[in-house]
Every structure is written in structure tokens, then in C-alpha cells.
Amino acid sequence: MYLPLRIGCLPSEGLVEESMTPKERFLNACQRRPVDRPPVWMMRQAGRYLPEYRAVRQQKTTLQMMKDPETACEITLQPVRRLGVDAAILYSDILIVPEAMGLKLDFVKDQGPVFENPVRGQEDIEKLNIQNIPDRCDFVYQTIKRIKKKLGLLPLLGFAGAPFTVGTYMVGGDGSYEGHRLKKFALENRQSFHQLMDKITEATLEYLAKQVETGAEAIQLFDTWAGTLSSEDYELMALPYERKILSALKSLGVPTLLYIKGGSHLFEKMLTSKADVMSIDWRMDLAQARTLASGKAAIQGNLDPAHLYGSPQQIEESISKMIDVAGKEPGYIINLGHGMMPDIPVENAQTFVDVSKKLGLRTVS
């Protein structure tokens, strides 16, 4: 039997009542408008730390789960039911787009995503098919439709990988990330590199626009591996493509979030990307991010996921520090600085959500 959806929570004694739906709270925070408390969700909140996810995983492969709308919908909703987070994020993968472009994708145990036919040169780029991308990803949109029917008062985040990050896997091909591969490709084949980025950008734009059309109320763009770039190379190799995608999404009227792992040295340039929310990892000083982003973007993050191995008291102390620094003014979303790890105890994830709600209500923004 499935757990019922948990929407909101009962305030502890002495705290103000929640006065917004999760959807209102999240969308207001993205736009730096006042909220009753900072919203809370977790990157990779649907996944292997949940026993109900592991039960599904025993029956199906990763691709089977993603491509079966009923299953993908169920996995998306699992953390909403169990934890009572303020937002759901679509269960899918950033490599669905390159698969739709013609690369044969598989997820290999103990290795990760593997492309049978990676991009090695100009001829491979020319073979990539970016026509009618949404038609080859219809299972994603069918999943969104199912989620929307069941999600109620919570917002749904869609997402995709940014071109530089997606390109690292398309060129690497073997499931491991070695940043030098795409950089080497770019230096040896500058024109081909930008042609590849252009193709990924166009395909991603169509893919995300259809997510919005189908019902996604916000979009997170993951440029995870852009943090391996110098500031100069980021401005040349990643930022223009982020900006093109995020600007187009802005015209569709949905909030956008940009995440870069290890991107603290890029933060000021990230602010020019047109994203509404800067999602930062634990390497970025939260107070500094708040100051730099003031008047420009909201902030999401940035607890080190490893802190969720701590005691309830340690988790509460970490959240309290984040809220004290960033949660007293509009434009803050409580989240991790990276995705949930598979061996984090479920009860610790629950503590993260419950404490974030409790402490957030003490500092109404």
C-alpha cells in the first residue's frame, strides 16, 4: 500500500502556521518574493536510499524504469509521499537527450552510463539527429502528465543537462567522467566542438520546452561538470549555451535553476546566465553567494550531503546555520549541495525535511 502524499506539516508549539501551498512557496522563492518559510527539497530525492525505490529497481533496469511512464511517475512521487518535500522533480536522466539524438545508451552496473557509439569527430556530429526530439522522448511527457494528475498542490520540476555536461558523456562514452576528453576535443576541433554544443543546445531547448508545455512548473539545468573549467573556458565553452537555453525558458514564463558542482570560482559569471536561481554546492560560501546574488537571483542549497550521516542534532545545527545565513530574506530554497547518496538513512532524510520546515517557520521571510 502506498503512503499518502504529505503536504506541509503541523507546526511545532509556538510557531506560526503555514499559510502557503508548496507550489506557491516554491515559485515565490524562485522569484525572490516573500514566503511563509523557505521551501525544501533534495536533489536526487527519488533514488536508492528509499526502500520503495529499491523494490522497484529489483524488477526493472534503469532505462526500463525511466521509459515506463507509470513506473517513472511512481518513483517521482515516492519521496513526496514519504518525506513531505515542497517540490517533486521528474525521475529521468540527463542522457535521455543524447539518446534521442542517436547515441545508443545503456546503464552498466558498477560503471554507469555507457554510449555504444560515442562522438569522436566531425562525422559523428553530423550523424546526430536533432529533428523532432520530443517525439522520441514521448515517455517523458507521458510521465509528466501522470505526475501532474497526482501531485496536487506541489510544483513539478523538469530538468535537463546543460550542453557542456551532456557533451562530456557523449565524447567520453564509457560511463566515467574524465574532464580532459571534451577539453581535448574542443582544443583539437574548435569548430566541431561548437557545432556539437549547438546541436545539444537546440535539442535540449525543444526537450525542455515540451516539458513546460506538458506541465513542468520550473526547470533545473544541470551543468555539473562545468566546474572543471577555468573562468575563461567557462565563458567560452559552457556559459553561452546555458544562457541560450535559460533565456528561451524565461520567455516561456517558468522559473529556472542552474546547478554547477564545484562552481564557486564561476559564481559571478553564473549570475549572467539568466537563471532565476543559483543552486550551489557546499564549496561555495553561502553568505558570499547571498551577497553576490542580491537583487539578481535566488539561492538554493547548499548542505554537504555527507552531513546527513550525522545525528539529528548535527543535522539540525547544519540547517540552522544555513537558515541564519540565507533564510531570513526572500529568495532562498533549502537543499543539498549535491544529490542524495544511496546509503544515507531514510530517517536522516526525513530529519532534514522536518527540521527545515520547523526552523524555517521561525524566520518567516
Query: What pLDDT digit, counting tens, does each position of 62-105 carry?
Result: 999 999 999 999 999 999 999 999 999 999 999 999 999 999 99
Domain 22-362: assigned CATH number: 3.20.20.210
Query: What pLDDT digit, counting tens, does each position of 226-253 carry?
Result: 999 999 999 999 999 999 999 999 999 9
Largest CA distance in the chain: 66
Which of 16-25, 163-172, 344-353 comes out lowest in average pLDDT?
16-25
* Residue 173: CA count within 13 A, CB half-sphere: 11
At 195 the pLDDT is 98
Element (H, E) at 160: strand 156-161
Q: Please, which pLDDT band fits residue 215 given cuts at 50, 70 and 90?
A: very high
Distance of alpha carbon 356 from alpha carbon 56, whole angstroms: 29
- Close Cβ partners of 271 (under 8 Å, ≥ 6 residues apart): 278, 292, 293, 296, 297
pLDDT exceeds cutoff 90 at 219: yes
Burial of 142 (C-beta count, 10 Å sphere; 0-12/13-18/19+): middle
**How long, in residues, is the chain?**
365
| 6 vs 287, higher pLDDT | 287
* Residue keyed to cell 499559510: 19
At 4 the pLDDT is 57
Query: What pLDDT digit, counting tens, does each position of 137-149 carry?
Result: 999 999 999 999 9
Distance of alpha carbon 290 from alpha carbon 186, whole angstroms: 34
Q: In the chain, what percentage of residues exceed pLDDT 70?
A: 93
At 12 the pLDDT is 47
* Residues forming the active site: 44, 48, 57, 93, 169
pLDDT exceeds cutoff 50 at 2: no
> Average pLDDT, whole number, for the chain?
93
Query: What pLDDT digit, counting tens, does each position of 94-124 carry?
Result: 999 999 999 999 988 777 788 989 999 999 9
